[in-house]
Amino acid sequence: MNLSITPYADTAREELLTLWSDALPFDAITLDTLETRVLLDENFDPETFLLARSNGQLVGFVLGIHATWCSTKR
């Protein structure tokens, strides 16, 4: 097994959404949700959104968040 871990890249969007919906069918998200809730979030850092590939195929991911900005609204 050839496993590689890399930071998120925009070229993986569709592949990521497919894996997400296959692995988490009750928590699947749309491209719009991925963009607005993750990629455009002020705290998003692609270095904490890791993609795992086995022989070139996306097989997993980890989405980490490190809050650098926080709203005080409740």
Question: What pLDDT digit, counting tens, does each position of 11-59 carry?
Answer: 999 999 999 999 999 999 999 999 999 999 988 999 999 999 999 999 9
- Please answer whether residues 13 and 30 qualify as being in contact, where contact means their C-beta atoms are separated by less than 8 angstroms: no
pLDDT at residue number 1: 73
Helix (H) or strand (E) holding 57: strand 57-63
What band does 6 get if pLDDT is binned at 50, 70 and 90? Answer: very high
- Tally Cβ neighbours within 10 Å of residue 35: 13
- Quickly list DSSP for 18-41: HHHHHH-GGG---HHHIIIIIITS
pLDDT at residue number 37: 93
Residue listed under structure tokens 């990629």: 39
pLDDT at residue number 65: 82
